[in-house]
Structure 1
Amino acid sequence: MKFAVIGGTGLIGSQVVKSLNAAGHEAVPHSQSTGVDVITGKGLDEAVAGADVLVNLTNSPTFDKDSLAFFQTSMDNLLAAGRKGGIRHFVILSIVGVDKVPELDYYKAKVLQEDILAAGAIPYSIVRATQFMEFMDATMSWTTDGDTVRLPPTPIQPIAAKDVADAVAEVAAGAPLGGIRNIGGPEVFTLDELGRITLSHKSDGRTVVTDPTAGMFAAVKGDVLTDKNAHLAPTRYADWLS
């Protein structure tokens, strides 16, 4: 099969392309760097022409309320190009528990993206992943003050980007789900605990202080960002750190 992977040069997209091509498919990466713009629509018709499956891995440049407009416009443009090009399967990547954190503008925007896809005319699949291991350093940087990192005790289920990409590629190569598949890492930690593990492994001298009000994940109630019934990926956090 032929796949048009929009956002195909990023962290997940580049690995999805690699995984699909290794399986004998033809996966072509598209992004702004290749002349494709999901907001203006530039290059979209050409990108999806002849493809069987459209995989959209683009992301909003911001996490505030402007992300709503990004996902509305990009999905409208992609669905129009997909219909015109005869796409038979449209896949997006979302977040486990995304519909249970209405306090976060970015999460509301991702729910909007899911809803637009589900309401469209193209058979679809939504892959929801737990939090990426690769984002832990950035998460800690948001709430670092000198030698102190403040993190809430929010339960998370970290997953490696490579495992996310493999799962997206598997779903994309299969029949449309017409719904959602949750994927997650094999272990659950609290965010503050994961911060301490990370700093210890890196011999980083900063100290993690548990603060239920710190950072974006303070808005998350309970364990909604985890799913014990998700399709579990193989990579454990300690092995990924190593």
Structure 2
Amino acid sequence: MKIVVIGGTGRIGSQVVQLLEGHEVVAAAPSTGVNTLTGEGLSGVLRGADVLVDVSNSPSFADDDVMEFFRRSTGNLVRAAREAGVGHFVALSVVGADELPDSGYLRAKAAQEKLIEDSGLNYTIVRATQFLEFAVAIADTSTVDGVVRLSDGGTQPIAAEDVAVAVAKAAGEPAVGGIVEIGGPDVLPMDEWIRRVLTARKDPREVVTDPAARYFGTVLGKDSLVPAEGSWRGRVGLAEWLGR
């Protein structure tokens, strides 16, 4: 199969490309002459493609910017995929995207999902939980006067390598015509997750539990960021990840 990976040079995409060895895989990104915002290179790279995988992300998380990115990028991908006769559109999204509209980023991901669902293409949307690799960034955005204020809402953080495995698996199988949710092996409150990471890194910042603390603009419930029961779980847990 010919599989085109949009965002194929990034954190997840580069691993997906490696995992799909044995197929004709093309890593597509602005650095390779493919720009989803302008449409540059899309028709050429998708010619003869069986599967389109989109793991690209907005360079800015500002509300208006991220919405513009996913609407324009996904719109261009849908049109190009239709014209090329692509048989399967796989996209990476976020658990809770359609349930937390106060978050500008998640609103944009929900808009992306809707464009794919309404495209008429065969598709699989892989919703992942927060990456373990994002822990310090989450702490940084939640720090005020040297104190990290975080919700005790539930999380199930997942290693980027496990996300890549799930996306590559979806790309190699028939479209499900719906959403697949994935998470890591550990279920724990967000404040506890970040506290453990900062402790392991000998980061002196105190993590204070604040149920009203917002995560990218939204207040979290107990299970807002936890995948559905029975969802696929990655292999790498927090302890193993920290040990590395």
TM-score (norm 2): 0.94
Residue 36 (structure 1) aligns with? 34
Equivalences for residues 147-158 of structure 1 within 5 A: 147-158=146-157
- The 2-side partners of 1:204 and 1:59 are apart by 28
98-107 or 63-72, which deviates more: 63-72
Residue 195 (structure 2) aligns with? 196
Residue 180, structure 1, aligned to residue 179, structure 2: yes
1:109-162 alpha-carbon deviations (Å, 9 max, x no partner): 111111110111221111011111010010001122454222121211000000
- The 2-side partners of 1:28 and 1:128 are apart by 23
196-205 or 121-130, which deviates more: 196-205
TM-score (norm 1): 0.94
Amino acid corresponding to residue 236 of structure 1 in structure 2: G
- The 1-side partners of 2:73 and 2:81 are apart by 12
State the identity as a percent: 47
Residue 235 (structure 1) aligns with? 236
- The 2-side partners of 1:202 and 1:61 are apart by 27
Instruction: Count residues with an aligned counterpart.
Output: 240
Amino acid corresponding to residue 89 of structure 1 in structure 2: H
**SS of the residue aligned with 2:163?**
helix
Amino acid corresponding to residue 35 of structure 1 in structure 2: G
- Give 1:215 shift: 4.0
- The 2-side partners of 1:146 and 1:26 are apart by 51
**SS of the residue aligned with 1:55?**
strand
**8 A Cα contact 2:151 2:211, kept in partner:** yes
- The 2-side partners of 1:130 and 1:110 are apart by 13
- Give 1:172 shift: 0.6
- The 2-side partners of 1:170 and 1:208 are apart by 37
Residue 71 (structure 1) aligns with? 70
The answer for unaligned runs of 5 or more in structure 1 is none
Residue 127 (structure 2) aligns with? 128
- Give 1:86 shift: 1.7
Equivalences for residues 1-242 of structure 1 within 5 A: 1-21=1-21, 24-63=22-61, 64-216=63-215, 218-227=218-227, 228-242=229-243
Report the aligned-residue RMSD.
1.4
**SS of the residue aligned with 2:20?**
helix
**8 A Cα contact 1:101 1:221, kept in partner:** no
- The 2-side partners of 1:36 and 1:156 are apart by 35
194-203 or 171-180, which deviates more: 194-203
